[in-house]
Structure 1
Amino acid sequence: MRVLHVLDHSLPLHSGYTFRSRAIITAQQASGLEVRGITGLRHGKAGPPVEAVDGITFHRTPGGASGPAGWREWREVARLAEAIVALADEWRPDVLHAHSPALCGLAALRAGRQLGIPVVYEIRAFWEDAAVGNGTGREGSFKYRLTRALEDEVVGGADAVVTICEGLRGDLIARGYPPERITLSPNGVDLSLFGDPPAPDPALAAQLGLEHGPVVGFIGSFYDYEGLDVLIAAMPLLQERLPGSRLLLVGGGPMEADLRAQAEASPAAGAIRFTGRVPHGEVERYYALMDVMAYPRKASRLTELVTPLKPLEAMAEGKLVAASAVGGHRELVRHGETGVLFAPDDPAACAAALADLLEDRSGWNTLRERGRAHVRARHDWAVNVSRYQAVYQDLLGRRDRKGLRGGPTQAHAGTRG
């Protein structure tokens, strides 16, 4: 079976989006499928028209799209659809597997109808909510409502729908889509990439001033919804109970300047370290310095509905996890079993949870073992990839039974209700 993944962007760019794509495709290849990816015009990184990265073949959409908002996006959809059809003439995929945003889904629907092959649409987040979360959109605006409407059009037209978590699935069901049409494929990690964690590097610890005291850490992008300002505000309270505690923030993003200014003005300024962005290959060296990984996401529609990847990676690394009790975290972390949860948007609650965890080391090994076991059981891509196989086989079986091979797909075979 051949599967073409339709993507907004991909490796060699590094993001949670591209790492999930890599994990899915790598696991599918290992299972015996023939798999490629194609990116739209927003990939935005110069390179050859066909590019092999980490053993994966990616095709790039040629050309560009210009014009006023609205027209530009429709031209993007048209360019990507044309590129899918052109590639299909050569490679002949059996299934198009499009991933959010809706522009990728619309292009896949257009191409799938022309080619007569089924389309799977996977939602990783509602992009109108993601825009609100990263400060580029406003809830209820015209753009917000338009993006949501486009999502509904793709969900209604796709032959099957996949979401990464129960929050997103539940929201679609509340909109009127039948539960049986929506498959869950949760965030996961490639456990083959996680062996025994490296020992802390004394030279790096000394360079950062982290030789003594427990270290709370965060590795990722500095968006407002991540709640890092809450974590910085919690540090003076944490130091009242654990004077030697330190905070290590690795990464960067739109909030970096504000967070650095907040840290400089904090009574705990001397205990807070920023590294800036580090090469992906160096991340494990920083993980090794951290005792507890903190994820203080703020309560919002985005964080209530969407599960992040980082806590799973931390569990796979054998790290302790402390996270705010938003919906996305509650799907991943069982309080007292695989990590600890605390009230969101509350520095005092954050500080208390961290202090309780850091003061009582007797349960650390059990939490770590349960965290890694949880990832192995429910979030290992080598296992989870079978969920897609079942969806593909069902769609191809339905198509063949209805005599649709070689003809146009039933574009609305999976509409609402």
Structure 2
Amino acid sequence: MTRVLHVLDHSLPMHSGYTFRTRAILKAQEAMGLEVRGVTGQRHTAPTPADPEVVDGLTFYRAGGAPGGLPLVREWAEVSALAERIVELAREWRPDVLHAHSPALCGLAALKAGRRLGIPVVYEIRAFWEDAAVGNGTGREGSAKYWLTRVLENDVVSGAHRVVTICEGLRKDLIARGFAPEKLSIMPNGVDLDLFGDPLPRDAALAAELELGDGPVIGFLGSYYPYEGLDDLIAAMPAIVARVPDARLLMVGGGPAEAALRAQAQGSPVAGAIRFVGRVPHHQVDRYYSLVDVVCYPRKAMRLTDLVTPLKPLEAMAQGKLVSASDVGGHRELVEHGSTGTLFPPDDPAGLARALADLLASSGGWVSRREVARAFVREKHDWARNVRRYLPVYQALLPNHQMPSIAA
């Protein structure tokens, strides 16, 4: 049985889009017949009761320690600690391939360990982290740190035997940097339909508790980062309520922009139509999805959102929800206007309001739209199917290994 060791920034039991994608990949690979484990670096900050630690049936090893010291020295110490843990684990467990996931520090650790062990390395890019830092407000485009992060990313892409990206936008950007297209593959974001494929009926008690009324509910469920454009969604609510008086906005989640968004909502002339819930346990998220008619993703236009496809719209489609999203590159890979969702101009509260009010006023077509979107997820973004895309990548590096049947 082929063994794959996934090299990770962090993992379950921490909750993030990163850890949920990792969980889905490892679960689907196990179901397909691969033997998988994960190892995390020092940025995994959850308490570790045991090493290895088994979470949700998956086995994770930890590098241990905490990052510290001066910049650059600190990051190199992180890489070295993770590389040593990979080597130690590999000599015991004997993986056939190291599958590192961004950021570049994980890739550098895998390359360092892979060279010592003679094990091939696959590097998977979920986002360019210099652009993510700009989007999160923790970095500045064009700064020394921005360019250093890009240089490190390029070094890892050059050193890896094969590279996987989550979408066409990232792949095209790498090709523009001069990397060979045949080295690059795409593993798109997906949905574990065992978790998201069976929507709950509307939770009437929860709707009453939140005083949502009987009108249509617009929702956002996720992290509150500046690049998500949630300020535009709140700014659009007066115009939406003017056309659809019973409309409500339900905000579920939290993050760096939360305080500013709550203050903006409190000052809105339709403050009574906006509900903030805060973060909820992951196993209860589907209760809140059950209350929402239209899920809205008003991401700002920038490199991060143009290049990277988000996961949340796919989860919403799987939940049988209508999806509306800003017309940025990452959304266009997932949302076909008028078919799987509704696109509106980014950074434009008035355009957002018109699109959502029009959608709320045309409920007669909702059923067919939901069915088209759910079929799209089942056919194009079901992890049980998508995970097979890894097999040709591994097979190219391990030609003498018997891989599970792609048709299985």
1:234-267 alpha-carbon deviations (Å, 9 max, x no partner): 0001011101110000001111110011011111
Matched, 1:6 2:39: no
| 8 A contact 1:231–1:296 mirrored in 2 | yes
1:357 is matched with which residue? Answer: 359
Query: TM-score normalised to the size of structure 1?
Result: 0.95
Shift in CA distance, 343/110, structure 1 to aligned 2, threshold 3 Å: same
Which stretch of the first structure deviates more once superposed, 356-365 or 302-311?
A: 356-365
Q: Which amino acid aligns with 1:42?
A: R
Q: Which amino acid aligns with 2:40?
A: T
Q: Which amino acid aligns with 2:60?
A: F
Quote the offset at 1:196 in angstroms.
Answer: 2.9
Quote the offset at 1:281 in angstroms.
Answer: 1.0
Q: Aligned partners of 1:115 and 1:63: how far apart in 2?
A: 23
Quote the offset at 1:38 in angstroms.
Answer: 0.2
Shift in CA distance, 399/204, structure 1 to aligned 2, threshold 3 Å: closer
1:332 is matched with which residue? Answer: 334
1:394 is matched with which residue? Answer: 396
Q: SS at the partner of 1:57?
A: strand
State how many pairs are aligned: 400
Quote the offset at 1:203 in angstroms.
Answer: 1.5
2:260 is matched with which residue? Answer: 258
Please give the residue correspondences for 1:136-151 in structure 2 after superposition, counting only pairs within 5 Å: 136-151=138-153
| 8 A contact 1:3–1:94 mirrored in 2 | yes
Q: Aligned partners of 2:82 and 2:197: how far apart in 1?
A: 39
Q: Aligned partners of 1:271 and 1:149: how far apart in 2?
A: 47
Q: SS at the partner of 1:30?
A: helix
Please give the residue correspondences for 1:17-416 in structure 2 after superposition, counting only pairs within 5 Å: 17-47=18-48, 48-397=50-399
Q: SS at the partner of 1:385?
A: helix
Q: Aligned partners of 2:165 and 2:151: how far apart in 1?
A: 17
Q: Aligned partners of 2:75 and 2:198: how far apart in 1?
A: 45
Q: Aligned partners of 2:193 and 2:162: how far apart in 1?
A: 28
Quote the offset at 1:141 in angstroms.
Answer: 0.5
| 8 A contact 2:199–2:319 mirrored in 1 | yes
Q: SS at the partner of 2:38?
A: strand
1:155-200 alpha-carbon deviations (Å, 9 max, x no partner): 0000000000011001000000011110000000111223431111
Identity in percent: 70
1:127-172 alpha-carbon deviations (Å, 9 max, x no partner): 0000010011000111101000000000000000000001100100
Q: SS at the partner of 1:117?
A: coil
| 8 A contact 2:233–2:298 mirrored in 1 | yes
Q: Which amino acid aligns with 1:12?
A: P
Q: Aligned partners of 1:55 and 1:148: how far apart in 2?
A: 35
Q: Aligned partners of 1:208 and 1:377: how far apart in 2?
A: 35
Quote the offset at 1:399 in angstroms.
Answer: 10
Q: Aligned partners of 2:8 and 2:42: how far apart in 1?
A: 10
Q: Aligned partners of 1:231 and 1:387: how far apart in 2?
A: 36
| 8 A contact 2:219–2:249 mirrored in 1 | yes
Which stretch of the first structure deviates more once superposed, 142-151 or 190-199?
A: 190-199
Q: Aligned partners of 2:401 and 2:177: how far apart in 1?
A: 27
Q: Which amino acid aligns with 2:134?
A: V
Q: Aligned partners of 1:260 and 1:13: how far apart in 2?
A: 25
1:370-395 alpha-carbon deviations (Å, 9 max, x no partner): 10111111111101111111100111
Q: Which amino acid aligns with 1:301?
A: R
| 8 A contact 1:167–1:327 mirrored in 2 | yes
1:83-138 alpha-carbon deviations (Å, 9 max, x no partner): 00000010000000000000000000000011101000000000000001001100
Quote the offset at 1:361 in angstroms.
Answer: 1.1
2:406 is matched with which residue? Answer: none
| 8 A contact 1:49–1:62 mirrored in 2 | no
Quote the offset at 1:398 in angstroms.
Answer: 8.4
Q: Which amino acid aligns with 2:127?
A: A
| 8 A contact 1:94–1:117 mirrored in 2 | yes
Q: Aligned partners of 2:331 and 2:226: how far apart in 1?
A: 17
Q: Aligned partners of 2:340 and 2:179: how far apart in 1?
A: 33
Q: Aligned partners of 1:187 and 1:202: how far apart in 2?
A: 32
Which stretch of the first structure deviates more once superposed, 306-315 or 64-73?
A: 64-73
| 8 A contact 2:217–2:247 mirrored in 1 | yes
RMSD: 1.2
Shift in CA distance, 399/153, structure 1 to aligned 2, threshold 3 Å: farther
Q: Which amino acid aligns with 1:279?
A: P
Moved beyond 4 Å, runs of 4+: none
Shift in CA distance, 140/399, structure 1 to aligned 2, threshold 3 Å: farther
- Structure 1 unaligned regions, length at least 5: 401-417
| 8 A contact 2:213–2:246 mirrored in 1 | no
| 8 A contact 1:49–1:61 mirrored in 2 | no
| 8 A contact 2:395–2:401 mirrored in 1 | no
Q: Aligned partners of 2:193 and 2:201: how far apart in 1?
A: 19
Q: Which amino acid aligns with 1:77?
A: V
Quote the offset at 1:66 in angstroms.
Answer: 2.6
Q: SS at the partner of 2:43?
A: helix
